[in-house]
Structure 1
Amino acid sequence: MKDRTLPSGADRVVILHGIGQTTWNMAAVRWTLRREGFGALALSYPSTRYPLDKLAEWLHGRLTDEGVWEGGDRVHFVTHSMGGLLASRYLAKYRDQFSDTLLGRVVMLAPPHGGSEIADLLHGYGLYRWFYGPAGQELTTAARNASEIPYYELGIIAGSSGWLYPVASRIIEGTHDGRVSVVRTKVPGMREHLSIATTHTLIPWRPAVLRQIASFLKTGAFERLK
């Protein structure tokens, strides 16, 4: 069934949460974008049930059912964590299913394009495999040795404060958000990259991050930090 909250004549935004989360984790993003005049569609997807390729198929079916690409409105994406990897896979795999003129901009919050050392440490344990499922095995640094190169305008916001995860500093090299290092959020071909002092979990809730999301979707650039 189509989401009746998607208005015609307004740019649409598909919002994707991270692994093991729900649309609730992206509530502030959805509220902000609707306030800014976008038609925001936040989706809960089975992040721990399938690998990324299968999740991309699921997403394609859901967006087709919702009629997201119908009506001639531009479609943007805003993602958190593994949601960025899902958006990358979907946009690469189904590029021929929609017109490039309809695809707008993409903002990814803390995407583990280069994987996570936390996943390196835990992916062999049964509890991790049970909780995070097949996609969790694709978050290691070895599994992420090649990422899809964006053909769209991509802005990435990384978190640079890991205070919520004090042990992570012993595992992750360099500046990080407690789960992903800043350098591993980057991908060749991105348009802009920005770091904000926040943690991996809280990045979708920070007012400064929300302002930057709206700025990039509207202008193709982040606001200059003062």
Structure 2
Amino acid sequence: MAKDRVVILHGIAQMAWNMAAVTFFLRRQGFDPVPLTYPSTAHGLDALADRLKAELAAKGVWDGPGRVHFVTHSMGGLVAARYLEKYRAEIPESRLGRVVMLAPPHGGSEVADLLHRQGLYRWFYGPAGQELTTEARTEPDPPYYDLGIIAGTSGWIFPAAGALFGGPHDGRVAVARTKLPGMRAHTTVPASHTFIPWRPAVLRLIASFLKTGSFEELS
């Protein structure tokens, strides 16, 4: 039986190794993970979606009989969403699986609001960093695919950022801003934005959603 593939996308200013725990766990769960490193700080979201399309084609990810899922962290979720929307007509509906996003800033981030005009921020995070403000993310596209979102609620690692949020957050993104109209499921875990891809409970939730479309942990 053909294994389902899972495209794994890291967040801004990171690399594929930041998602190593996800990659290793999903391989043990019987999936064929495809971790990608992409130039997250060199381009805007639209160009990154184009690069993702080219990378998936080059690797033949859509070739073969199995389904193709996506697991993302932070801005990787925005890249995947842009790709899936922009190239919807080219994506075989019968092959597209489920999507799990960890701490996606669908509604932007108050941290980006505070810092996006500063020179160091603009230099380090590049064009995509300017698209992470709450103003820039006012009308995200609703998903046509099965989408599960996991948000973190432990922002202690970023104590100064706590003053920016009016509710639960992970130190970088408010829980409320991770949600997207039309998502299939949403849950929270006591994890920070940086370390949410490494939490064992999160890994189990990812596998559960990919297999069943639910965040009920598998026995």
Q: Residues of 1 paired with 2:4 and 2:217: CA distance? A: 24
- Hey, what does 1:194 align to over in structure 2? 187
TM-score norm. by structure 2 comes to 0.98
Q: 1:157 aligns with which of 150, 155, 167?
A: 150
Which residue does 2:48 correspond to in 1? 55
Name the counterpart of 2:93: 100
* Cα distance in 1 between the residues matched to 2:160 and 2:167: 14
Is the CA contact (8 Å cut-off) linking 2:205 and 2:217 kept in structure 1?
no
In the alignment, which of 119, 138, 146 is matched to residue 145 of structure 1?
138
SS in 2 for 1:139: coil
CA RMSD of aligned residues (A): 1.1
Amino acid at match of 1:136: G
State yes or no: 1:14 paired with 2:14. no
C-alpha distance in 2, partners of 1:50/1:171?
A: 27
Aligned to 1:204: 197
1:88 and 2:81 matched = yes
Mark the runs of 5 or more structure 1 residues left unpaired by the alignment.
Answer: 1-7
User: TM-score, length-normalised on structure 1?
Assistant: 0.95
Q: CA deviation at 1:72?
A: 1.9
1:93-138: CA deviations, max 9, x gaps? 0111121110000000000000000000000001000000000000
**What letter matches 1:174 in structure 2?**
G
Cα contact 1:118–1:172 (8 A) shared by 2: no
**SS state of the match for residue 130, structure 2?**
helix
**How many residues are treated as equivalent by the alignment?**
218
Letter in 2 for 1:98: I
Q: Detail structure 1 runs of 4+ shifted over 4 Å in the superposition.
A: none
